[in-house]
């Protein structure tokens, strides 16, 4: 598998469970051989030398804070987590940005239609200020493909309101990506009847406001955008794929990503669909780093492969790092 075009095409063409299983097995063998920390983790914790999709060897996500989890010394970018409240930031070394660009665009357009038919606006102040954000990179690529009026709007509330008013008059299909606290700030300054607008919250109060449930957040945002749909994006530095929530209940992953839940007290135990536990993912977009990730988000996975997110496990850093040396 030498051509990056071939890698992108093969991941993007995954449709069936058989396609996914074959490429997941290939990714596992590649990562076991070339990602040294992951190979050591699998041998020490799972005692495995092959992949059984019933019990995938999930790596604790916290280890992206401490180890270089890459299959290659070459990288085109290094994405870093937001690192709120002074926490140590995770780093994801990305071998091939064109893969991230192609796959993130493919999944978004598969759900929402062509980007060139939309205006994409972004309210992501904390991510822009921290730098090295995978979310900012993705949205920047979306903006480059979208209507020329698309842009980031950093600390420009007046310009944002004027832009939305103008697009409303035109009835232009628009997507507004925003971190939670920035969307709440905007919703308190505006009430606009704009049914062609989708407000895409990306989560994160970043210490600026008190935390609230997603349903509470959406209700609060809805006060400023009463006729707009409020959707959610689920993404993180350590995963190169995203999930999108359109119904207020479950996130839709791309075909090349599978969600699982594991027992909270025993993250090596995979749960049946519908059971509440820690979310874990096989993400083939992570082909050059690690595709098998155990998160610290609590949720459940439905029979159709969609997943819900309820919150974050407390004291996750200590538990995850200890797991490596169990």
Query: CA 163 to CA 62: how far, in whole Å?
Result: 40
Give the residue range(s) of CATH 3.40.50.12780 domains in the chain: 99-236
Q: Are 201 and 232 in contact (CB under 8 A)?
A: yes
Single out the residue of 180, 206, 236 nearest to residue 87, CA to CA. Answer: 206
| 326 residues of the chain, pLDDT tens digit each | 444 448 999 999 999 999 999 999 999 999 999 999 999 999 998 887 777 777 899 999 999 999 999 999 999 999 999 866 567 899 999 999 999 999 999 999 999 999 999 999 999 987 877 779 999 999 999 999 999 999 999 888 889 999 999 999 999 999 999 999 999 999 999 999 999 999 999 987 766 677 788 999 999 999 999 999 999 999 999 999 999 999 989 999 999 999 999 999 998 899 999 999 999 999 999 999 999 999 999 999 999 999 999 988 875 433 333 333 22
Superfamily of domain 99-236: ANL, N-terminal domain (3.40.50.12780)
Query: What is 75-113 written as a DSSP string?
Result: -SEEEE---GGGPPPPEEEES-HHHHHHHHHHHHHHHH-
User: In 105-156, which ranges are E strands?
Assistant: 119-123, 151-152
In the block, residue with structure tokens 């707009």 = 228
* CA distances for 1 relative to 23, 30, 125, 214, 229, angstroms: 11, 10, 39, 41, 42
Q: Count how many Cα atoms sit within 13 Å of the Cα of residue 6 in the half-sphere of its side chain.
A: 4
Single out the residue of 318, 117, 126, 325 nearest to residue 209, CA to CA. Answer: 126
Say what the pLDDT of residue 130 is: 74
Instruction: Supply the DSSP symbol for 44.
Output: I
In the block, residue with structure tokens 């994409």 = 120
Single out the residue of 177, 204, 189, 182 nearest to residue 121, CA to CA. Answer: 177
pTM for the full predicted model: 0.91
| Percentage helix, strand, coil for the chain under 3-state DSSP, each rounded to 5 | 40, 25, 40
């Amino acid at each position: 598998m030498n051509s990056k075009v071939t890698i992108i095409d093969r991941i993007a063409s995954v449709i069936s469970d058989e396609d996914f299983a074959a490429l997941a097995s290939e990714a596992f063998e590649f990562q076991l051989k070339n990602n040294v920390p992951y190979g050591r983790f699998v041998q020490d914790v799972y005692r495995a030398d092959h992949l059984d999709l019933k019990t995938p060897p999930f790596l604790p996500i916290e280890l992206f804070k401490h180890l270089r989890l890459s299959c290659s010394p070459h990288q085109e970018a290094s994405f870093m987590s937001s690192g709120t409240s002074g926490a140590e930031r995770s780093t994801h070394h990305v071998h091939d940005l064109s893969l991230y660009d192609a796959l993130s665009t493919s999944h978004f357009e598969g759900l929402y239609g062509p980007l060139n038919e939309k205006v994409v606006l972004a309210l992501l102040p904390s991510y822009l200020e921290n730098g090295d954000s995978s979310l900012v990179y993705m949205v920047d690529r979306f903006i480059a493909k979208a209507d020329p009026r698309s842009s980031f709007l950093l600390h420009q509330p007046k310009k944002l309101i004027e832009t939305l008013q103008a697009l409303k008059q035109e009835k232009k299909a628009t997507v507004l990506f925003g971190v939670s606290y920035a969307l709440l700030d905007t919703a308190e300054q505006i009430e606009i009847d704009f049914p062609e607008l989708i407000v895409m919250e990306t989560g994160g109060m970043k210490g600026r406001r008190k935390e609230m449930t997603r349903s509470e957040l959406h209700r609060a945002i809805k006060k400023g955008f009463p006729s707009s749909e409020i959707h959610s994006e689920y993404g993180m530095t350590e995963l190169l794929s995203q999930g999108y929530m359109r119904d207020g209940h479950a996130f839709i992953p791309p075909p090349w990503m599978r969600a699982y839940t594991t027992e909270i007290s025993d993250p090596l135990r995979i749960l049946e669909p519908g059971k509440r536990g820690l979310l874990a993912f096989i993400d083939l977009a992570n082909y050059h780093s690690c595709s098998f990730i155990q998160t610290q988000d609590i949720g459940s996975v439905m029979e159709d492969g969609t997943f819900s997110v309820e919150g974050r496990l407390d004291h996750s850093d200590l538990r995850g790092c200890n797991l490596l040396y169990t």
